Every structure is written in structure tokens, then in C-alpha cells.
Structure 1
Amino acid sequence: MLERYGHGGDLRTAEETFGFPARQFIDFSSNMNPFGPPDGVRRVLVHYADQIDRYPDPAVRGLRAKLALLHRVDEQSIIIGNGAAELIDLVVRALRPSATALAYPCFTEYGDAVMKAGGSIAPIMLSPDNAFALTESMVDASEAKFYMIGSPNNPTGQLVDPALILKLVYRGATVVVDEAFMDFIPEEEKVTLIREAAVHERLFVIRSMTKFFAIPGIRLGYMVGTPEQIAVLRRLQVPWSVNSLAQQIGEAVLEEKDYAARTMAWLQEERPWLIDKLEALGFRVVPGMVNYLLVQLPQLPGLTAASLQFEMGRMGILIRDASHFINLDESYCRFAVKLRHQNEWLLEALGRCLFKFREAGIR
């Protein structure tokens, strides 16, 4: 099982499982920008050796100032973290909800953070019949006072209607919205809740900087809330949790406007192309909106997410077994959207695997 530690992108486990060096795998199990880090990251790395003997800014003021300008919010409304995972854990530890509503399937870190803090989970089970969308009737049926919601959701790629989230806030609930993949949405400004979070004391928005800018080795994310709530979180945060290299890289990537435009143009062309090709192979694709696809496998004897992952791994291609997400069964996988030649390798390998399972079923 490649998801030994709960996530995709575990190249060490892939090496141990399939015997290839990490550099030989094409990794569709993690959802990174396939262009790799922008040029500004490399420029920072060249000069960083001369600064490594200095402590990082404990308040991360340079990056906070740039993010405040970008989102048009108060600098005091922003806290920077060692990846979105630290911030998910931090907000749960700070608010300590007795029960948290989670809409399954969702990012596993939500439930992990709740359980570590001694809380309980009030599950909302999303349905494949409406592409795993969170609906108003589901929200109305829930009596929870604390919600963690992914928008776009991982692994479905579905956006949640901002009005639906604000409805929860207005009726007295506290909502943490994970917008880790929001950068990939063309109309981001119309659907993000960052500015609302800066003024509503019961609303928090978390962002990741690692997915869009392909820097997962540098753990970097941020959260927006009211200045008063963010001050509470900051007092609980481990000192210097964001190192100076991450801070400098975060500032650098925010200047990469051409890189961002190229990424958006690529995704708008490549995503529908890949969906068409996958559907032609017999996969059912959940209609999300970002740089990964949740798919249901064709019905073939012996074909499961785990068996397909193993066969693909033997060919040097890693995919995510999505059956490890609560509320998904063994027929679901998740694929990242990558560059055209990489997507063609994915499709060719999938075709070979499906042929193998189909032939085995005939015999």
C-alpha cells in the first residue's frame, strides 16, 4: 500500500515496493503543479547558503505583508504555518470543538486533528449520485456547531457554494474552510472566502502554497481569520515553525505572475482533454474543477483501486488508491493532471492494465 502514511507522493515507499529509484517514477498520486517550482525558487536557493546562520523572522512579516496586499486584508488577520497541516491542527487545538462535522470523503488530516484534540466527528456522507457535492439539505440536516470543509474538496475536486458556508456562519456555527487548491480555480476571486474570514470571528480560511507552486518539500501555508482570533492561534503556535528558507521562497513565488498565467492556461486545456480520454477508456470521472481527478474504475473482474495501483506501479507510474478515503469504496482512484506527454503515458499504461484485467476475466 503506497498510502502507508496516509498521503500520496510517498516516493520512499514506492522505491521499497517496486524497486525503482524515486527519479524514475511518474507520480500521479500527489497533486503538484507539473511545471515544477518557478524560477524565483531557484534564485532564492542560490543565495540562501549565505543566510542560513540567521534566525528566521518569528512573525514572518515579509510574507504576511505580501499576502495581505494580495488578498486586501489586514496583516494581523494572517498567520503563516509549516504547511496547511500545521494550521489544521492548530485551529482545532485552539478552538477545541466537542464535535466537528466532516463531509466525507475529505482530506484525512481533518479527522486526525479532531481525534488528536479529543473531539468527536459528526459525519456528513456525500453521495456519488450528485458528484459528491455538499448540498443545502445536508447542511440543514446537521446540527453541528463546528465544520471543517474543503473547497475545492480533496479528493473530489468539488467547490462548495460560498453562500452555503456563510449560511452556516450566520446561523452560529464556526467553519474552517480549506482552500488548499483554490489557486487552480479560474474565478478564484468570486468563490474564495478569504476576505469574509478576515471580518467574521467564526470563519477561518486555510491556504497552501505548496500545490500551485510545486514546493511540497518546503512546508508552507497560511490561515486568515479576524485579528483577534489569529492572535489566539499565534500564541499557541510553536516558535519559528516557519523556517527562513520557506519564508523567502513564499515571498518569491508571489511575484511569479507569468508562471501563474501559464499554469491556468495549461489546466484549462489539459483537464478536459484528459477527462475525455479517461471516459473513452471506461472510467467515470467526478466533475471537479482542479488539477486532479477522482475516477471510478470500469467494472472488470479483479480490478480494484489497489490492484490497479500495483500494476501501474510496476510500470513506474504512481496513482492514488482513493478507497482509503472514508465514504469511497475500492472502485475509486485519484489521478493528478500533468503535462500532455505524461498524461499520454498514464493513458497508455491504464489501457494496458485494463486489457490485462479484461483478458483475465475472459479466461
Structure 2
Amino acid sequence: MNAPGHAHADATKAHADATDAHGPDLRHHGDVEVRGDGAGLVDLAVNVRAGTPPAWLRARLAASLATLAAYPEDGAALTAVARRHGLAADRVLLTAGAAEAFVLVARALPARHPVVVHPQFTEPEAALRDAGHAVGRVLLGPEDGFRLTPEAVPEEADLVVVGNPTNPTSVLHPATALARLAREGRTLVVDEAFMDAVPDEHASLVPLLERLPGRTVVLRSLTKTWGLAGLRVGYALSDPATVRALAHHQPLWPVSAPALTAAEACSAPEALAEAEEAAKRFADDRAYLSARLAAFREAGLREATPEPEGPFLLLRHPDADAVRERLRERGFAVRRGDTFPGLGPRWFRVAVRDRTTTDKFVNALHKVLDRT
């Protein structure tokens, strides 16, 4: 067991909180909302772009099945991902989704005082705990729009995990602010699983990666923009020594041939151009959803983030649990918020969809809020 971590922070900005056995369910994820009796619902709970994977990508994946008799060879995918980010191939580690990368970080990298910035995706903390770490939490609050100031992270934290843009708050932290968290003796892990849904990826830490002090690990996923949750493909970007340390904890051939095909295909210039167009549509559709939701302020509905930049919105309502259940009755699944540390039963998250879907959702919400 690693030595317990300790966290402290400016109480006006954030505070640290040790996990206990009765805390939020860190293993609950949005896909649960659309399984079983939720299978026929309109899915606003999972942040995967609708209508994906596109036909050209499905064709590439189908063609890769002819190679399944051979062991996977990752050279072409590594080269493509490295070129996409302007890095050497030895700074790239391909993984079975970003979730595997969290496990590798937890098992491979030393940490006496790990800290996770919440609310955010809960798998990083779950992986650290499974690896025997005592994890501190820095909890950001709605009074500041869930924005992180570097001073909120305790000095003694030697491993810091933060999402950007953050799930579920939709906050995009400036790269310059995150860069201030990097220092000698610390591992900074930035989960950029949704960064390709941000136009121009303008807050990515990747361009600064080679200049930051200490150890920095940036994680990416192909799940969200390309609709590949079932394929499990992502990657980590870091310095060569860290990449080797993480890889040491992978089994042989950790990424399948179809997943390698996807990594190569989605890193091509034409795919990046498509992703950029999708990011711009997300921004337009998010603005439309936000404008429609503004009509419910008198009914107690509030957005959490003044300037959301992810493909989802975090919403608050005094009776959010009842709102979620009544939305299910009307055919819509949204993501509960109480399983994210720092939130509670008054919160829920809604994925950004096209305007037709948004209009139908808003109509259902009108009926639901009339009953609360």
C-alpha cells in the first residue's frame, strides 16, 4: 500500500476531500442509462457523437478483419498518431481506450500523494484506488463555474489528474493554467478525451508537452468523435521514458488490429478535417441547446458552466432525480450527476445532439417541469 495522500487548498476556490467507502459510485457510467429498460430511449446520457462511426471508417475496419490471422503490428498506427501531433513515435503509447491508460498510470508511475481534480471522469481515481493509492480530491465548485486555479492543488501532490475539457462540467481550462501545474517531482496527467470536440483543439497541452518540467502525460481517446466505444482505442503522449514505463505494464499485443486501423485512419489529414467540422457543429448545436434551456430558468433549471466548451452540458435543478425519471418516461435518458465527486442529486448531464433532437428534448422537458 502506498503512503496515504493529503490535500489542502484555498477554501474559496476548492477543497480536498478524502474518499470514504460511502462516497459516490466511481464505476457508474452513462451507458448504464441506456441498457435494459433504457435501450429504446433517446440517448443523451453518453457523450459519443451520433451517427458514428462514419461509413468510410466502418469500411476500413471491415477490411482490417482480413488480417486477423496475424498478430497486430502497431508501426503504422504509431507513426500516424505521432505525425498527427508533431511528435516522435517514441512519445506515443497506443492503448485499449483511455481507460487502460488510467490503469497503466496508476500501476506504473510512482505517487505518494496523488490528487484528482473533481468533478471529472471517475475512472482515474478508481484506477488509482485499485492500485492501492490513497487519493486526495480537489473539489471545484459551482460558485467559480468549476474552474481550476493552479493554487488549488496542494504543493505536496506528486501526481495530479485533471480533465480538459472536463467531463461532466464542460469546462475548458486554458493550457497556460494547466502548464502551471507541471513541476519537477510531479506527474501531471491531463485527460483530453474530448479535446477533438473543441474547435482547433486550442487548449490542448500537447504543443507544450516537450517543454514542461517534471513528467506530463496527455491522454486521448477515439471513442467520442468517432463512435468507437466498443472498439477500445486511445493513446498516451509523454516523454520516451514514461512511455516505456507505461508499456512495461501492458500485455503483449494490447491493441487489436482493427483498433490499430482506427488509430491510423483517424489520424489522417482528411479525418482531422472531418473532426474539425464536427467540433464546429458541436459548438453550434451546444449554443442552440443552451439558448433553448435558458427558457427554464424560472422553473429552477441552471447551467453549471458560464462558457461550456465540451459536447455536453451540466445542469442543476432542485428536483433533478424526479426530472431524470420523468424524462425517461417521455423517452429520454440523461446522465445522473450524483456519482461524480463534488456534485450531488441536484445535477444531471445532457449530451449535445442535433437541433431536431434538442427540440424534441426541450418539448419533453417542458412537460416534465410543468409537473415538478
Q: How far, CA to CA, are the matches of 1:223 and 1:125 in structure 2?
A: 25
| Matched residue, 1:295 | 315
Distance 2:113 2:53 in 1: 39
Question: Secondary structure of 1:211's match?
Answer: helix
Q: How far did 1:243 drift? A: 0.5
Write the distance in 1 (CA, Å) between the matches of 2:266 and 2:219.
18
Q: In structure 1, give the amino acid aligned to 2:162.
A: I
Of 118, 125, 133, which aligns to 1:104?
118
How many angstroms does 1:39 deviate by?
A: 2.5
Deviation at 1:79, TM superposition (A): 0.1
- C-alpha deviation, 1:81, in angstroms: 0.3
Quote the Cα distance in structure 1 between the aligned partners of 2:276 and 2:178: 29
Distance 1:185 1:327, change over 3 A: same
Partner of 2:187: 174
Distance 1:138 1:35 in 2: 39
Deviation at 1:258, TM superposition (A): 4.7
Equivalent of residue 41 in structure 2, options 8, 14, 25: 25
Which of 33, 36, 39 lines up with 1:16 in the alignment? 36
1:253 is aligned to 2:239: no
Shift of the alpha carbon at 1:213? 1.1
Indicate if the aligned counterparts of 2:172 and 2:310 stay in contact, CA closer than 8 A: no
Q: Does the alignment pair 1:327 with 2:349?
A: no
Please name the residue that 1:314 is paired with.
Answer: 329
Q: In structure 2, do the counterparts of structure 1 residues 198 and 233 end up closer, same or farther at CA, with 3 Å as the change threshold? A: farther
Q: CA 1:68/1:15 → structure 2, altered by over 3 Å: closer, same or farther? A: closer
1:231-290: CA deviation from partner (whole Å, max 9, x where unpaired): 111111122221111111222223324522431231221111110111212221123211
**1:189-228, aligned counterparts within 5 Å?**
190-198=202-210, 200=212, 201-228=214-241
* Secondary structure at 1:318 match in 2: strand
1:185 to 194, 198, 202: 198
C-alpha contact 2:199 2:280 (8 A) present in aligned 1: no
SS at match of 1:158: coil
Whether 1:356 aligns to 2:371 is yes
Structure 2 Cα separation of the partners of residues 331 and 209 of structure 1? 31
Q: Which residue of 2 aligns with 1:148?
A: 161
1:295: Cα distance to partner? 0.9
Q: Is the 8 A contact 1:198 1:227 kept in 2?
A: no
SS at match of 1:204: strand
1:50 is aligned to 66
Q: How far apart, in 2, do the equivalents of 1:199 and 1:62 lie?
A: 26
Please, which of 152, 163, 168 is the counterpart of residue 138 of structure 1? 152
Q: C-alpha distance in 1, partners of 2:75/2:112? A: 34
Count of residue correspondences: 340
2:90 corresponds in structure 1 to: 76
CA RMSD of aligned residues (A): 1.9
Q: Between 326-335 and 154-163, report the one with greater CA deviation.
A: 154-163
Post-superposition Cα deviations, 1:57-105, rounded to whole Å, max 9, x if no partner, equal: 2xx2111101111111010000000000000110111013122111221
Structure 2 unaligned residues grouped into runs of 5+: 1-24
Q: 1:192 to 1:265 in 2, by over 3 A?
A: closer
Partner Cα distance (1:257, 1:103) in 2: 29
- The CA distance in 2 between the partners of 1:5 and 1:228, in whole Å, is 30
CA contact (8 A) 1:37 1:213 kept: yes
Whether the aligned pair in 2 keeps the contact of 1:317 and 1:346 (CA below 8 Å) is yes
**Post-superposition offset of 1:169:** 1.7
- Inter-CA distance 266–100: structure 2 relative to 1 (3 Å threshold): same
Look up the SS of the partner of 2:188 in the other structure.
strand
Distance 1:235 1:198, change over 3 A: farther
**Post-superposition offset of 1:142:** 4.3
Supply the distance in 1 between the matched residues of 2:47 and 2:329 (Cα, whole angstroms). Answer: 21
Segments of 5+ residues of structure 1 without an aligned counterpart are 358-363
State the distance in 2 between where 1:312 and 1:136 align: 38
Q: Deviations over 1:19-63 (max 9, x none)?
A: xxx3x3211101111242122222123323422222212xx2111
